[in-house]
Structure 1
Amino acid sequence: MYIKSISELLSDRPMFSIDATRTVGEACMILSTRNIGALPVVENGRLVGILSERDVIRRCVIGGRDTSTTLVSEVMTREPVTLGPEDSPASAMDIMLAGQFRHLPVCDAGNKLIGMISMRDIPTENRLLVERFRDYSGMQAVYG
């Protein structure tokens, strides 16, 4: 089934997020129990950052910080790249590949969090279309 917009991927899915004033330990519990790799960070419903497993490892574990006292706001990635609900899965995949992201928050025009998608959420059909287009574009560049 070909999915035309990100909003189609988000329908009937639970949304998880964490407040910037919570601890990294609390965030890790959500990541672990929900089997997810990143959490959007919100203040008053607005996206202010994203906390990924990679952020926790690089900024807490390796840095020797205590996850039970370190606040999410201290280690999150601020101003993450976002998608809008009208964006296509193909554009989401392009952004993920270009930025080496595995997760992207989805926000409305007012930066209110709507959901989160990961690379694994993009259906195989959409990924194959993007790959074929890239192959074709590469051939055009080489053979004109």
Structure 2
Amino acid sequence: MKTVAELLKLKADKHQQVHTIASHQMIVEALKVMAEKNVGALPVVDNGQVVGVVSERDYARKVVLMGRSSVGTPVSVIMSAPVITVDTHQSVEKCMAIMTDSHLRHLPVVENGQLLGLLSIGDLVKESIAEQASLIQQLEQYIRGE
């Protein structure tokens, strides 16, 4: 299985940038960034440190259902914290286990306190499927004697 570092390199090749928001910014600002960048979550970064993650799910459950205003409420009120992170040495399989066990859809990648990327469950599932397809192809070639 690939490591997080290898997966981030593949994402970087597609020019994917990590978009963030600060905890003091208003929820409406986070929603605008998520809509503009077509992402479902943003790492919340204060003073260079990841302090949480805010997602569309957080908005639906903690703003809409609670009757809060997205204009006057800071991200810190609804972000998921403390944040679970991984480093670049973790395997895709380990990340999937963390996300499944913790019911997460987004996993920040942090190395030496620096945010390097954000993995989605979709990123991990795509990679897992690609690895399985490759293994099947290799086994079929082996069986055929190629």
Task: Tell me if TM exceeds 0.5.
Answer: yes
Please give the residue correspondences for 1:61-140 in structure 2 after superposition, counting only pairs within 5 Å. 61-110=64-113, 112-122=114-124, 124=126, 126-127=128-129
Question: Which consecutive residues of structure 1, in runs of 5 or more, have no partner in the other structure?
Answer: 131-144
Q: Percent identity?
A: 36
1:5 aligns with 2:3: yes
Letter aligned with residue 27 of structure 1: A
Paired position in structure 2 for 1:58: 61
Q: CA deviation at 1:99?
A: 1.5
* Alpha-carbon distance between aligned partners in 1 of 2:49 and 2:59, rounded to the nearest angstrom: 22
Question: Which consecutive residues of structure 2, in runs of 5 or more, have no partner in the other structure?
Answer: 133-146
Flag as ranges the 4+ runs of structure 1 deviating above 4 A: 127-130
Q: Is the Cα–Cα contact under 8 Å of residues 90 and 127 in structure 1 kept in the other structure?
A: no
* Alpha-carbon distance between aligned partners in 2 of 1:19 and 1:41, rounded to the nearest angstrom: 5
With normalisation by structure 2, the TM-score equals 0.79
Aligned length: 127
- Between structure 1 and structure 2, the one with the greater Rg is 2
* Alpha-carbon distance between aligned partners in 1 of 2:72 and 2:127, rounded to the nearest angstrom: 43
SS of the residue corresponding to residue 100 of structure 2 reads: helix
Query: How has the CA–CA distance of structure 1 residues 125 and 49 changed in structure 2, closer, same or farther, with 3 Å as cutoff?
Result: closer
1:45 aligns with 2:48: yes
Letter aligned with residue 64 of structure 1: G
The alignment's C-alpha RMSD in Å is: 1.8
Query: How has the CA–CA distance of structure 1 residues 125 and 15 changed in structure 2, closer, same or farther, with 3 Å as cutoff?
Result: closer
Q: CA deviation at 1:109?
A: 3.5
Q: CA deviation at 1:128?
A: 7.7
With normalisation by structure 1, the TM-score equals 0.80
